[in-house]
Structure 1
Amino acid sequence: MQEPWEDPAWLAAAVVWVDDRLTDAGRPRTGEPDQVHVRPWSTAIRVPTAEGDVWFKANTPELRHEALTTLLLSRRVPDRVPPLIADDLERGWMLMEDGGRRLREVIAEERDLSRWDDILEGAADIARAMEPDVDELIAAGVPDLRLAVLPDRYAAVVEAPDVEQRFRDAIPRVRDMAEELASYGVPETLQHDDLHDGQVFIRDDRQLILDWGDAVISHPFFTLSVTLEGVIAWGLDDVEGSVDLDPLIDLYLRRYDPQRPELREAVPLALRLGWACRAVNGTVVEDPESTKTRLRMFLDGRPD
């Protein structure tokens, strides 16, 4: 079914809701809304106010849980996400402050990757802070890809006829890896699952993490797969393996028990299994090529 994002009646209703919420906040709209993003799974509208732009976002029913996720994040880790002005959890609507400039463009200008230090620490802060909310998030529809569930979900994905046999042959390996990773006893929690330089924004020199529509409940070390191997390892000039990842891994692990150095041994295992999680965690839009790339990253440690 086609989503209503560009339907005039839907847009009018969304703008009325935004105007009402801005009136409640004492900062009325000062210009026309600009529907900047239209995707099959969501839309985002920039709205001007005298105190700066704000953003309205709506998701499909399958991703409606992002509104609750964003609300809980704004309460648990307000310094790590943009302020939430209003929400409609039933419809999955959100009204947020502007996040600032995208990290991707900032890094291209600064020619410096050091902002990732704070981002990795922030991702760990979020994982630890959201541990008490796991049951509520799952009940709201955030995908459950915990280690007890992941092997069966992986098996279902690789049964597709166009998937190479070697990925089906790896099903027992996924089960063994999940059991081994579980033995470290790290609490499973909210995990962004797509934390790259297009999802982080800079405002007032703070690094803010946005776009939680792909988030899952899973192992917190899985976020390192996309962030480290998918982005940072390629450096400033897109050269594979050009960045030493060990210091960033150490930064992330500092948010966990310093009396458990063995957690460092769990990271290589989590990096591989995190790509299996990413392959399983598709959005409402089918993307078989991305799934195959993620499966190759899981099994081969390379995208091709």
Structure 2
Amino acid sequence: MAQWIKNWTDGEWRTEVLAWVDMACEAYSLKRIGALQEATSSLRAKYLRVPTDSGILFFKAVAPGQLFEPPVTAAAANLVPDRLVMPLAIDPERGWMLSPDYGATLDGLATTPELWVRALGALGALQREVVDSEEALFDAGLQIQDPAWLPEEFNNALTLHASLPADHPLGIPARDADHAFGALKDIELACAELIAGPIPLSLEHGSFDRRRVFAPTDDKSAPRILNLGDAHWAHPFASLARPLERMRIDFRATADDPRILAAIGAYLSAWDDYGSPDELYELVAPALRISPLHTHETWLQLLADADEPQLRRWAPKVLEPLASLATATT
């Protein structure tokens, strides 16, 4: 078990959380009216429900590799308060965040094309609104994954994994690294297309799906987006990788299904001052091509402080994105 997960099960840790939560509640004239309640827990984060006299709050503790999430969430929510969940309190050093509850997320509702249209439209609008906020989000801890750097980072990643001992969980045989290196030219071409295109870098969500969107209370309210633990400052269209995968499953359809194209169109419409959806659609494929590099970086950072058992368990999450890049060229 990773050390931070052990900490989350420790009685002393929970006592510290309780004191911090009570202090935060007091600052907002709220009163906790019950014990902290278990919610979900994973390698990435620990969630607890906090019952108060004004409703449920959610406490989140993130893994050491994602300590940037609370300050980045607070900074981004300050920029676009109607599109994200503004935490009531954060502790950047401990990776803690206390947030209000906005009800059900979209994955709790019946899957419809309209839900995906609304979800992706909200994502595109959020990204479009923060394109001029790189400095603020970088200062908060958001890492940059510029397409101009990605070919070199891909090369460096393969060199890193190939240089590890054969029995290391993150090591790969030299022949496999050489095979994967065959994808470099394709990655360079994809990055060149993105660089030449009109879309600026923005907040790339990294793991966007309907679980990351609160259901709006009415037809006019913008859906609020949450969970920025996998985010980067990067080409925003890479955020479509996860939604496309999920929509193909939801609709049991191929990527050219009209329902999927309608959702992508809603997303691209948020960028209409840079071009029509038809024009911008040409950038979707190269953005999807490089998105595994974002995923690789997220998992590599997440496992930086993991012990060997956890490394062995989760190593495929680090290596699979690189393998997918190689497979796509064969």
Normalising by structure 2, we get a TM-score of 0.80
Judge conservation of contact 2:76–2:137 (CA < 8 Å) in 1. Answer: no
Higher mean Cα deviation, 47-56 or 240-249? Answer: 240-249
Q: How does 1:236-255 map to 2 (within 5 A)?
A: 236=251, 238=252, 241=255, 243-244=257-258, 245-255=260-270
> C-alpha separation between the residues in 1 aligned to 2:139 and 2:81?
23
Specify which of 193, 213, 233 is matched with residue 200 of structure 1. Answer: 213
- Mark the CA change 1:290 to 1:92 in structure 2 (over 3 Å): closer, same or farther: closer
> C-alpha separation between the residues in 2 aligned to 1:23 and 1:275?
43
Judge conservation of contact 2:147–2:234 (CA < 8 Å) in 1. Answer: yes
Q: Which runs of 5+ in 2 are unaligned?
A: 162-171, 304-310
> C-alpha separation between the residues in 1 aligned to 2:254 and 2:316?
20
Deviation at 1:239, TM superposition (A): 5.1
1:273 maps to which residue? 290
2:315 maps to which residue? 288
Specify which of 151, 154, 166 is matched with residue 179 of structure 2. Answer: 166
More helix by share: 2
1:48-105 deviation line (CA, Å, top 9, x unaligned): 0122110111223331111112112322222222342122234332110113223223
- Mark the CA change 1:293 to 1:239 in structure 2 (over 3 Å): closer, same or farther: farther
> C-alpha separation between the residues in 1 aligned to 2:211 and 2:328?
22
2:144 maps to which residue? 144
- Give the fraction of aligned pairs with identical amino acids, expressed as a percent: 25
Judge conservation of contact 1:232–1:243 (CA < 8 Å) in 2. Answer: no
Deviation at 1:301, TM superposition (A): 5.9
> C-alpha separation between the residues in 1 aligned to 2:144 and 2:81?
24
1:255-303 deviation line (CA, Å, top 9, x unaligned): 213462332221222122223332343251353333454345545569x
2:169 maps to which residue? none
1:16-49 deviation line (CA, Å, top 9, x unaligned): 1111111111121111101323333321111001
- Structure 2: which amino acid aligns with 1:273? I
- Structure 2: which amino acid aligns with 1:54? L
Report the secondary structure of 1:53's partner residue.
strand
- Mark the CA change 1:195 to 1:151 in structure 2 (over 3 Å): closer, same or farther: same
Judge conservation of contact 1:272–1:299 (CA < 8 Å) in 2. Answer: no
Judge conservation of contact 1:154–1:280 (CA < 8 Å) in 2. Answer: no
Q: How does 1:112-123 map to 2 (within 5 A)?
A: 112-123=112-123
Judge conservation of contact 1:146–1:218 (CA < 8 Å) in 2. Answer: yes
- Mark the CA change 1:281 to 1:175 in structure 2 (over 3 Å): closer, same or farther: farther
Deviation at 1:148, TM superposition (A): 1.8
- Mark the CA change 1:80 to 1:184 in structure 2 (over 3 Å): closer, same or farther: same
Deviation at 1:187, TM superposition (A): 1.2
> C-alpha separation between the residues in 2 aligned to 1:301 and 1:105?
33
- Structure 1: which amino acid aligns with 2:296? A
Q: Which runs of 5+ in 1 are unaligned?
A: none
Deviation at 1:231, TM superposition (A): 0.7
> C-alpha separation between the residues in 1 aligned to 2:272 and 2:255?
28
1:11 maps to which residue? 14
> C-alpha separation between the residues in 2 aligned to 1:241 and 1:56?
37
Q: What CA RMSD, in Å, does the superposition of the two structures yield over aligned residues?
A: 2.5
